[in-house]
Structure 1
Amino acid sequence: MKNRWMFLCVLLVVFNAVAQQQIITPNEAVTLALSNNYGIKLANNQLEVAKNNASILNSGYLPTITGNAGATYNIDNTEAVFSDGNVAILNSAESSRYNASVNLNYVLFDGLGRSYDYKQLKERYQLTELQARETIENTVFQLFTIYYNVAQLTENTSALNQTLAISNDRLLRAKYQFDYGQSTKLGVLNAEVDINNDSINLINAQQQLKNFKRDLNVVLGHVIENDFEVDTTINFDVLFNKEELFEKAKSRNIALLQIEKNITISGYDIKSGKSAYLPTIGLTGTYGWNKNNNNAASFLAVSTNTGVSGGLNLSWNLFDGGSTITRVKNAQINLQNQQLQKEQLLMTLDRDFNNAWDDYQNKFKIYKIQEDNILTSQNNFDRTQEKFKLGQVNSIEFRQAQLNLLNAELSRNQAKYQAKLAELQMLQISGELLNVSF
Structure 2
Amino acid sequence: MSIKSLLSISMMSFMVSVSAQEILSVSKAIELALENNYGIKIASNNNRIAENNKSILNTGYLPTLTGNAGATYNLDNTDAEFSDGSSTTLSGAESSRYNASLDLNYTLFDGLGRHYDYKQLKETYQLSKLEARETIENTMAQLFTVYYNVARISENVNTLQQTLAISKDRIVRAQYQFDYGQSTKLDVLNAQVDINNDSINLINAKQELKNAKRDLNVVLGNSFTPEFKVDTLINFMMDIDKNDLFNKMKTNNVTLLQLDKNIMINEFTIKANKSGYLPTVGLTGSYGWNKNNNNAASFLAVSTNTGFSGGITFSWDLFDGGSTITTVKNAKINLENQQLEKESIFISIERDFDNAWDDYQNKLAIYRVQEDNIITSQNNFDRTQENFKLGQVTSIEFRQAQLNLLNSELSRDQAKYEAKLSELNLLQLSGELLNVSF
Q: Secondary structure at the match of 1:39?
A: helix
Which residues of structure 1 form unaligned runs of 5+? none
Task: Give the 5 Å matches for 1:106-117.
Answer: 106-117=106-117
Task: Give the 5 Å matches for 1:41-190.
Answer: 41-190=41-190
Task: Supply the AA of the counterpart residue of 1:191.
Answer: A
Residue 179 of structure 1, CA deviation: 1.2
For this pair of structures, how many residues does the alignment match?
Answer: 438
Q: What residue number does 1:8 align with?
A: 8
TM-score by length of 1: 0.99
Per-residue CA deviation, residues 236-266 of structure 1 (Å, 9 max, x unaligned), is 1101111111110100000100001111011
CA–CA distance in structure 1, aligned partners of residues 28 and 185 of structure 2: 53
CA–CA distance in structure 2, aligned partners of residues 84 and 377 of structure 1: 129
Task: Supply the AA of the counterpart residue of 1:143.
Answer: L
Per-residue CA deviation, residues 262-286 of structure 1 (Å, 9 max, x unaligned), is 1101100111111111111111111
Residue 225 of structure 1, CA deviation: 3.1
Residue 392 of structure 1, CA deviation: 0.2
CA–CA distance in structure 1, aligned partners of residues 396 and 87 of structure 2: 134
Q: What residue number does 1:380 align with?
A: 380
Task: Give the 5 Å matches for 1:417-428.
Answer: 417-428=417-428
Q: What residue number does 1:407 align with?
A: 407
Per-residue CA deviation, residues 141-165 of structure 1 (Å, 9 max, x unaligned), is 0000000000000000000000000
CA–CA distance in structure 2, aligned partners of residues 235 and 297 of structure 1: 99
CA–CA distance in structure 2, aligned partners of residues 207 and 120 of structure 1: 52
CA–CA distance in structure 2, aligned partners of residues 437 and 53 of structure 1: 34
Q: Secondary structure at the match of 1:399?
A: helix
Q: What residue number does 1:311 align with?
A: 311
CA–CA distance in structure 1, aligned partners of residues 425 and 193 of structure 2: 42
Percent of aligned pairs with the same amino acid: 69
CA–CA distance in structure 1, aligned partners of residues 62 and 403 of structure 2: 77
Residue 212 (str. 1) matches residue 212 (str. 2): yes
Residue 345 of structure 1, CA deviation: 2.1
Per-residue CA deviation, residues 317-353 of structure 1 (Å, 9 max, x unaligned), is 1121211111111110111111111111222222111
Task: Give the 5 Å matches for 1:242-281.
Answer: 242-281=242-281
Q: Secondary structure at the match of 2:319?
A: coil
Q: What residue number does 1:366 align with?
A: 366
CA–CA distance in structure 2, aligned partners of residues 242 and 419 of structure 1: 16
Which residues of structure 2 form unaligned runs of 5+? none
Q: Mean alpha-carbon deviation: is it higher for 206-215 or for 319-328? A: 319-328
TM-score by length of 2: 0.99
Q: Secondary structure at the match of 2:299?
A: coil
Residue 362 of structure 1, CA deviation: 1.1
Per-residue CA deviation, residues 168-187 of structure 1 (Å, 9 max, x unaligned), is 00011111111111111100
CA–CA distance in structure 1, aligned partners of residues 209 and 294 of structure 2: 89
Residue 83 of structure 1, CA deviation: 3.0
Q: Secondary structure at the match of 1:138?
A: helix
CA–CA distance in structure 2, aligned partners of residues 84 and 262 of structure 1: 78
Task: Give the 5 Å matches for 1:345-360.
Answer: 345-360=345-360
Task: Supply the AA of the counterpart residue of 1:279.
Answer: P
Residue 80 of structure 1, CA deviation: 2.0
Residue 84 of structure 1, CA deviation: 3.1
Q: Mean alpha-carbon deviation: is it higher for 79-88 or for 412-421? A: 79-88
CA–CA distance in structure 1, aligned partners of residues 81 and 225 of structure 2: 93
Task: Give the 5 Å matches for 1:293-332.
Answer: 293-332=293-332
CA–CA distance in structure 2, aligned partners of residues 79 and 408 of structure 1: 113
Residue 296 of structure 1, CA deviation: 1.3
CA–CA distance in structure 2, aligned partners of residues 292 and 193 of structure 1: 107
Q: What residue number does 2:26 align with?
A: 26
Q: Secondary structure at the match of 1:118?
A: helix
Task: Supply the AA of the counterpart residue of 2:104.
Answer: L
Alignment RMSD (CA, Å) = 0.9
Per-residue CA deviation, residues 175-225 of structure 1 (Å, 9 max, x unaligned), is 111111111110011001111111111111111111110000000000113
Residue 379 of structure 1, CA deviation: 0.7
Q: What residue number does 1:433 align with?
A: 433
Q: Secondary structure at the match of 2:169?
A: helix
CA–CA distance in structure 2, aligned partners of residues 318 and 45 of structure 1: 43
Q: Mean alpha-carbon deviation: is it higher for 427-436 or for 173-182? A: 173-182
CA–CA distance in structure 2, aligned partners of residues 353 and 79 of structure 1: 93
Residue 81 of structure 1, CA deviation: 2.2
Q: Secondary structure at the match of 1:248?
A: helix
